Chain A
Amino acid sequence: MSGFRTRLVSLTRKEFRQLLRDRSNLAIGILLPMVLILIFGYGMSLDVKNAPVGVVLEDPSPTAHEAMAGLQLSPTIAPVLLGSMHDAEALMRERKIDGIVRVPSDFSRALAAGNAHVQLIVHGADAGRATIIQAYVSGALAQSAVRQADRGGGSTGADAPAAGRVTVEQRMWFNAANTSTWYLVPGLIVLIMTLVGAFLTALVMAREWERGTLEALFVTPVRPVEILLAKIIPYFAVGMLGLALCLLAARFLFAVPMYGSLLAVVLSSMLYLIVAVSLGLVISSVTRNQFLASQVALIVTFMPSMMLSGFLFDLRNVPTAVRVIGHVLPATYFMDLIKTLFLAGDVWPLIWRNCTVLVAYAVGLLLLARVVTRKSLD
């Protein structure tokens, strides 16, 4: 046992030295997390703010002006008054504006008669953004029209029969500020753990395989387990450093709340890091070639953990086949876990469920890594 420890310690020390010697490792371990934190916190936002929308008032009456006044109140859109439909369409083609609201010349007369029409055209190139603008503009216009009609009488006046109306009071739990930063920053932890764990490990190990230095190590008295452990430990440390950076940034730079316990966040991140590192080990010993390992790691880690983990797109709304792929990826379970821990708190049934899956992945992948590594010795 003491032989195990001495060998492990000296091997690990060697690996650490190797890691620190190469600037590119530090770039991916420290520089990349920092750059990503800044991009995710400041640069990426799915919220629509001050979207320019052209308003063409073909009816210059005060009624029409007042109906449009409702548009000015929110931070979602920024209405711009335009002279003609021709100008508006030209601006829209240049993507200078995201939408056009056209108020026809008979608007105030029609509103008094209770059948006014307003035309809304949105630029559909960014569908998500367009939908939000569409919903917002229709809501604001309908509200101000109802208010005006109620006040001004007309055919909706007091003599008309009253009809009940259902209104919706909505409450957003877990994200009161309703800002995408709150779920982008926790999601970042998943990306960084995946990158450092799976990508970096896969690359470094593939290099050893390609050069044959791993086989050279196998003929020394050290056992494969010791070699694997010594390889894992430094990258595990780099991953934890990335985690620390993310947590500090979430707390002090972006003020993302953490309702769950810090301990749960750290422990589950460590668990996922083990999964990611083992995945890297498996990829490298199956490919044994740096080019292939990097491509495979890229394809099974980076893009899917962004696109398929439920990070940006909700997995409930995708076709079954895609949902199955999403649920094969360990990143999906960690994403669910980390978002819940940050924004909802220690929801134990969820924590147990996701952690059990991650433990199963860790055990399975480590065993697999051990098996594919042993084969090489035969």
Chain B
Amino acid sequence: MIDFLLRVANLCKKELLAIFKDPASRVILFVPAIMQSLVFGYAATYDLSNVPYALLDQSRTGASSELIAHLDSTGVFHRVATLRTQADIREVIDTEKALLVIQIAPNFEQQLSAGQSAAIQLILDARNSNTAGSAAGYVSAVVERYNAELRARAGAPPAPLTIESRAWFNPNLETRWNLLPGLIAALSMLQTLLLTALSVAREREQGTFDQLLVTPMSPLEIMIGKALPPVLVGLAQSTLILLVALFWFGIPMAGSLVTLYTGLVFFTVASVGIGLSISAVSANMQQAMLYTFVLLMPMMLLSGLTTPVRNMPHVLQVITMANPLRFAIDLVQRVYLEGVGLATVWHNLIPLSIIAIVTLPLAAWLFRHRLV
């Protein structure tokens, strides 16, 4: 038993030395994780803060400029052009000068003062339908506030129904709040998978793996020795991103660190298992990297990080069952934002364990029975 531990510890030490000996790889394993979480944390927002718009005001009355003043006072909308004819609309939208054009018809004020409803036209650039939808929502909200004012001024009773809206777990509904916890798992997976896949493939390419096989070490020991260092690197990366989320972006963590790390350990071991299996079937580093990538892209896209798993068709939802990232993201987000304990998220640990239990022995077996 002691021999076993000693051999594993020695191999781990050698592997860690191999990873950190090169200053460039020391940098590449940690600096990008921090930078990416910072940049993506700022980039990932569906909230609008700067909407360039163009105005085609054919009414030119007190009422229309009042409505536009409401829009301008939000600070989100910036008028970039004042159009004269309807024919000008196409140009500003096509060239992306404006995200939307507001057209106010000539009889706008007459209709309003007659107590009728007056329509404004909203033309949106829906090349990104998401942004366009949010912008339309913002305009509607401004118009609703203006309507309430009109009612009050006319002495009409306020709207008969008010809706009190509240959001659980993310009171201001910021996209960043669900993205950054997701990145704790996703960003570390990118690099741990590659690191693991390369560790055996490199030795195989350089012929040193054969030497390792003739040492007294058993395949199990080799596997553990190869698996532990990338697990440590992965957990270190996750920790860095967690720190960015907590202290830079100030996203409060509702759950416990113990639950979070329990989940992360299961997840990292499962990812490393996949990485080792890839390296065991690859003949050289290039193949290991390419196979990793072929797996990695679908895993990222089908993880729920950028689009919810529940929106996917049933067949793809079934495929996500083999994707460790899908379970890790669910677990991390729920522990982080909702503060749930292991009792609620333990079901994520089962698939992660199965992936690890299948891939790690498979890799160990493949080490001995080289396929390539």
Q: Which residues of A contact B289 (CB under 8 A)?
A: 203, 290, 294
Residues of A within 8 A of B36 (CB): 299, 303
Measured CB to CB, the closest approach of chain B to A21, in angstroms, equals: 11
- Partner among B24, B48, B161, B340 whose Cβ is within 8 Å of the Cβ of A141: B161
* Contacting pair A138 B163 (CB below 8 A): yes
Distance in Å from the Cβ of A142 to the closest Cβ of chain B? Answer: 6
Other-chain residue from B140, B159, B286, B334 in contact with A207 (beta carbon distance below 8 A): B286
Q: How large is the interface on B (under 10, 10 to 19, 20 to 34, 35 or more residues)?
A: 35 or more
- Given A120-B163, A127-B170, A291-B25, residue A307 in contact with residue B122 (CB < 8 A): no
> Judging by beta carbons under 8 Å apart, are A39 and B44 in contact?
no
The answer to whether A166 and B120 have CB atoms under 8 Å apart is yes
Binds A, one of B209-217, B236-244, B261-269, B297-305: B297-305
- Chain B residues within an 8 Å CB radius of A170: 121-124, 136, 139
> Contacts A42-B316, A124-B177, A169-B122: A163 and B164 contacting too (C-beta < 8 A)?
no
- Are B122 and A166 in contact, CB atoms less than 8 angstroms apart? no
Identify B165's interface contact among A40, A94, A122, A325, CB under 8 A: A122
Asked if B4 CB lies within 8 Å of chain A CBs, one says: no
At the interface, yes or no: B151 with Cβ under 8 Å from chain A? yes
Option from B119, B132, B302 in Cβ contact (under 8 Å) with A168: B119
- Among A86-107, those with CB < 8 Å from B are 92-95
| A164–B46 touching, CB < 8 Å | no
List residues of chain B with CB within 8 A of the CB of A307.
Answer: 39-40, 43-44
**Contact, CB under 8 Å: B167 / A130:** yes
Q: Tell me which residues across on chain B come within 8 A of A287, comparing CB atoms.
A: 24
Partner of A164, one of B25, B131, B150, B313: B150
How would residues 145 to 179 of chain A score, 1 for a CB under 8 Å from any chain B CB and 0 otherwise? Answer: 11011000011100011111111111111111011
> For residues 320 through 378 of chain A, which have their beta carbon under 8 Å from a beta carbon of chain B?
321-322, 325-326, 336, 339-340, 343-345, 347, 349-350
CB pair A319–B42 under 8 Å, yes or no, is: yes
Residue from A40, A149, A302, A313 whose CB has the most chain B CB atoms within 10 Å: A313
> Which residues of chain A come closer than 8 Å to B122, judged between CB atoms?
168-171
Residues of A contacting B: mostly: helix
Least CB distance from B316 to A in Å reads: 4
Taken together as a complex, chains A and B put the C-alpha atoms of A148 and B160 apart, in Å, by 9
Stretch in contact with the other chain, from B88-96, B225-233, B355-363: B88-96
Do residues B312 and A43 form an inter-chain contact, with CB atoms below 8 A?
yes
- The closest CB in chain B to the CB of A200 belongs to B290
**List of B residues within 8 angstroms of A123 by Cβ:** 167-169
Interface string of A194-221 (1 = CB under 8 A from B): 0100011001100100000000000000
Contact stretch, chosen from A111-119, A248-256, A261-269: A111-119
Contacts of B99 in A (CB 8 A): 316
Task: Determine whether the beta carbon of A28 is less than 8 Å from that of B293.
Answer: yes
What is the CB-to-nearest-CB distance from A133 to chain B, in angstroms, rounded to a whole number?
A: 10
Closest-by-CB residue of A relative to B109 is: A164
CB contacts (< 8 Å) of A40 on chain B: these are: 301
Q: Which B residues touch A349, using CB under 8 A?
A: 95
Contact B338 A318 (CB under 8 A): no
Give the distance in Å from the alpha carbon of A302 to the alpha carbon of B291 in the complex.
15
Binds B, one of A4-12, A29-37, A53-61: A29-37
Known: A127-B175, A319-B42. A146 touches B159 (CB 8 A): yes
Complex alpha-carbon distance, A134 and B167, angstroms: 9
Q: Is B311 in the interface zone, CB < 8 Å from A?
A: yes
Decide yes or no whether A69 CB sits under 8 A from chain B: no
- Which B residues are in CB contact (< 8 Å) with A291? 25, 194, 198, 202, 285
A127 lies within 8 A of B143 (CB): no
Closest residue to A315 on the B side, CB-wise?
B43
With A121-B167, A125-B334, A166-B147 as contacts: A27 and B291 at CB distance below 8 Å: yes
A156 touches B156 (CB 8 A): yes
Q: Which residues of A contact B49 (CB under 8 A)?
A: 316-317
By a CB distance below 8 angstroms, the chain A residues around B46 are 127-128, 131, 313
Chain A residue contacts of B143, Cβ below 8 A: 166-168
In the complex, what residue of chain A is closest to B132 when comparing beta carbons?
Answer: A172
Q: How far is the CB of B319 from chain A (nearest CB, A)?
A: 9
Identify which of A141, A172, A204 gathers the most chain B CB atoms within 10 Å of its CB: A172
Which among A44-52, A227-235, A239-247, A273-281 touches the partner chain? A44-52
Asked, given contacts A173-B125, A178-B126, whether A135 binds B137 with beta carbons under 8 Å apart, the answer is: yes
A contact residues around B169 at 8 Å (CB): 123-125
**Contacts A120-B164, A154-B160, A161-B154: A47 and B311 contacting too (C-beta < 8 A)?**
yes
Tell me the complex Cα distance, A350–B93, Å.
Answer: 11
Please tell me which one of the listed residues A119, A168, A298, A317 contacts residue B139 in the complex, with CB atoms under 8 A apart.
Answer: A168
Asked if B160 contacts A298 (CB within 8 A), the reply is no
* Min CB–CB distance B274 → chain A (angstroms): 16
Q: Is the CB of A172 within 8 A of B155?
A: no
Please give, as numbers and ranges, the residues of chain A lying within 8 Å of B51 by CB-CB distance: 316
Contact of B159 among A25, A126, A145 (CB under 8 A): A145
A312 within 8 A of B: yes
Pick from A25, A45, A163, A319: contact of B290, CB below 8 A.
A25
The 9 tightest CB contacts between A and B, nearest first, are A124-B170, A162-B115, A164-B112, A145-B161, A175-B126, A163-B154, A124-B167, A172-B126, A24-B290
List the interface of chain A (C-beta within 8 A of B). 22-25, 27-28, 31-32, 35-36, 39-40, 42-49, 67, 92-95, 111, 114-132, 134-135, 137-139, 141-142, 145-146, 148-149, 154-156, 160-176, 178-180, 182-183, 195, 199-200, 203-204, 207, 287, 289-292, 294-296, 298-299, 302-303, 306-308, 310, 312-319, 321-322, 325-326, 336, 339-340, 343-345, 347, 349-350
24 A-B interface contacts by CB (under 8 A):
A36-B301, A43-B312, A44-B311, A49-B311, A67-B161, A93-B338, A94-B344, A114-B160, A121-B166, A124-B171, A125-B178, A127-B175, A131-B173, A134-B173, A142-B159, A163-B150, A167-B118, A175-B126, A180-B129, A295-B28, A303-B36, A307-B44, A312-B306, A316-B52
